[in-house]
């Protein structure tokens, strides 16, 4: 079977400090859960509970307001004991309810009771998804309500992105293995909700047996489904690079995929749980590791669990972590001041704690003009020139501004730069400032 990939740039990324892609372990339920009112790209949800409120598992505790915002639900039963706030990124404050565990669970440990969905119209399915606060469980956490509204035309193909070009996607891989049927059923439900007439499972070539499992599960449904094997060179899973591969597949196979709607496996599984079980995102798979962690592993974690609790369950630290990152070290968000009380949220697919030796030092040296950053850029940019233009010049030419906006922040240039320039971060920051 042919393998499809993007034409230029990228890197082969391996990290022995990432957890093995074997099986998940269930994390302990936290005594104190921190439930942020921002677990999405937009405005903070309006808190519907206050100190002293008794909440149930799955209860609505934050109401989304406006585009980019989504509902927030309690993930454990108990009582709200305080409100807290902290900076997730400089200048942006997040508020959260702290819930002390207590009382009985509505869903944990209970038999699953399926709700009928097969006869639902697309609008009714969308309403269930919105009601339960489902967001894209990666990136900034765009609500699926906004994803539905973003299509200028009805998508013809739903693409489920089972692409593992980064070892820190171990959690998504384990999810696909342990919840194959949920991923497939969720993709069928989401296809109906957005009007797609087929499903394509884009699977990394080294995991083609996973594609076989997905396709076997999809045969129980009438919707046409197929598997496309794609490359494992990072950043193959990025929207642009994945679409390039799929358009090549479309051309070679003489198909008409039409417009594409792309989602990850964790998101479609959450869609399935919302529509079939009537539940919000209560937990998610998280890859926990890094050179500072004694026992890296993939964990099934309740939303609101503090990251310090997860590190403790992995045996604690081998040494003082110099950097803690939510997400992949390539493109994740640095935890300010290594705050171990920051919680897992809907978009937390990975958590890494890094020693100084893994960071490789923070002292920038003079550029040696090696050209490695240009060689690995999948967009064909010159990161060195852009970095120098942004850093050392007060003004930029219009054509340079356009190139800055073309960067999608994959971080390949940062990885290969021997001078330790923060190329990708600098360019992305400049791009954000342009808008």
3-state SS string over 193-242? HHCCCEEEEEEEHHHHHHHHHHHHHHCCCCCCEEEEEECCCECCCCHHHH
Instruction: Assess if residue 26 is contained within a domain.
Output: no
The gap between the terminal CA atoms of the chain, to the nearest Å, is: 43
The string of pLDDT tens digits covering residues 68-87 is: 999 999 999 999 999 999 98
Tell whether the model's pLDDT for residue 248 goes beyond 70: yes
Taking alpha carbons only, the member of 342, 348, 343, 352 closest to residue 297 is 352
Residue that terminates a domain, selected from 277, 308, 336: 277
Q: What is the CATH number of the domain that holds 217?
A: 3.40.50.11540
Q: Is the pLDDT of residue 200 over 90?
A: yes
Structural domains in the chain (count): 2
Q: Are residues 147 and 259 in the same domain?
A: yes
Q: Is residue 6 part of a domain?
A: no
CB hemisphere CA count around 47 (13 angstroms) = 18
Q: Would you say 68 and 139 are in contact if contact means Cβ atoms under 8 Å apart?
A: no
Q: What pLDDT sits at residue 111?
A: 87
In a domain, 378, yes or no: yes
Q: Is residue 31 part of a domain?
A: no
Q: Can you give the residue range of the structural domain that contains 143?
A: 122-277
- Asked, as a colleague might, if the bond just before 323 is cis with ω within 30 of 0, I would say no
Quick: pLDDT tens for 375-422.
Answer: 999 999 999 988 888 887 655 544 566 778 888 888 899 889 988 888
| 128 plus 236 within the same structural domain | yes
In a domain, 131, yes or no: yes
Whether residue 234 lies inside any domain: the answer is: yes
pLDDT band per the 50, 70, 90 thresholds, residue 166: very high
Q: Which of 277, 303, 332 is the last residue of a domain?
A: 277
The answer on 246 and 126 residing in a single domain is yes
The residue count for the chain: 435
**% helix / strand / coil in the chain, to the nearest 5?**
30, 20, 45
Q: What is the pLDDT of residue 239?
A: 94
Q: Could you say which DSSP state residue 115 is in?
A: P
Cα separation, 49 vs 47, in Å, equals 6
Residue with tokens 């501004």: 401
Same domain, 258 and 386: no
**233/378 same-domain check:** no
Q: Does residue 364 register a pLDDT over 70?
A: no
Per DSSP, 44 falls in state P
| Residue 273: Cβ-neighbour burial (10 angstroms; 0-12, 13-18, 19+) | buried
Structure tokens at 377: 């850029």
Q: Mean of the pLDDT values across residues 277-293?
A: 97
Domain boundary, last residue among 243, 277, 311:
277
Q: Which residues of 292-302 are buried (b: 16+ CB within 10 A; e: fewer)?
A: bbeebbbbbbb
Does a structural domain hold residue 331? no
- The pairing of beta strand 32-36 with beta strand 46-47: unpaired
Q: What is the pLDDT of residue 294?
A: 98
The long-range contacts involving 388-397, CB below 8 angstroms and separated by at least 24 positions, are 390/426, 390/427, 390/430, 391/426
The predicted structure's pLDDT at residue 366? 81
Residue 432 confidence (pLDDT):
60
- Residue 134 and residue 143: Cα distance in Å, rounded? 6
**Structure tokens of 212?**
């076989």
Is the same domain home to 397 and 268?
no
CA gap 212, 95 in Å, rounded: 43
């Amino acid at each position: 079977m042919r393998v499809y990939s993007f034409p230029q740039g990228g890197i082969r990324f391996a990290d022995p400090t990432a957890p093995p892609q074997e099986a998940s372990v269930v994390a302990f339920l936290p005594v104190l859960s921190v439930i942020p009112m921002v677990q999405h790209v937009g405005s903070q949800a309006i808190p519907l509970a206050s100190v002293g409120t008794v909440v149930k598992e799955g209860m609505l505790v934050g109401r989304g307001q406006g585009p980019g915002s989504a509902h927030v639900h309690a993930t454990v039963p108990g009582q709200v004991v305080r409100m807290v706030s902290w900076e997730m990124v400089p200048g942006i404050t997040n508020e959260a309810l702290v819930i002390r565990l207590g009382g009985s669970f509505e869903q944990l440990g209970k038999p699953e009771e399926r709700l009928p969905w097969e006869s639902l119209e697309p609008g009714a399915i969308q309403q269930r998804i919105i009601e339960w606060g489902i967001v894209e469980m990666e990136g900034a956490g765009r609500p699926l309500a906004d994803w539905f509204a973003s299509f200028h035309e009805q998508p013809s193909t739903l693409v489920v992105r089972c692409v593992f070009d980064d070892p820190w996607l171990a959690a998504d891989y384990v999810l696909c293995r342990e919840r194959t049927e949920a991923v497939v059923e969720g993709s069928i439900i989401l296809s109906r909700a957005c009007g797609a007439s087929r499903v394509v499972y884009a699977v990394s070539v080294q995991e083609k047996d996973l594609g076989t499992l997905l396709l076997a599960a999809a045969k129980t449904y009438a919707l046409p489904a197929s598997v496309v094997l794609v490359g494992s060179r990072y950043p193959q899973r990025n929207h642009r690079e994945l679409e390039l591969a799929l358009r090549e597949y479309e051309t070679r196979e003489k198909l008409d995929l039409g417009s594409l709607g792309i989602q990850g496996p964790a998101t479609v599984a959450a869609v399935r749980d919302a529509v079939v079980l009537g539940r919000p995102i209560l937990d998610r798979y998280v890859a926990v590791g890094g050179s500072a962690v004694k026992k890296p592993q993939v964990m099934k974690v309740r939303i609101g669990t503090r990251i310090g609790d997860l590190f403790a369950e992995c045996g604690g630290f081998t040494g003082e972590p110099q950097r803690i990152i939510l997400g992949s070290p390539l493109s994740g968000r640095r935890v300010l001041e290594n705050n171990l009380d920051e919680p897992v949220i809907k978009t937390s697919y990975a958590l890494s704690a890094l020693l100084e030796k893994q960071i490789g030092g923070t002292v920038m040296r003079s550029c040696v003009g090696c050209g490695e950053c240009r060689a690995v850029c999948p967009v064909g940019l010159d990161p060195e020139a852009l970095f120098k233009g942004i850093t050392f010049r007060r003004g930029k030419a219009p054509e340079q501004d356009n190139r800055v906006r073309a960067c999608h922040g994959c971080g390949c240039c940062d990885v290969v730069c021997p001078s330790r320039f923060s190329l990708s971060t600098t360019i992305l920051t400049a791009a954000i400032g342009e808008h």
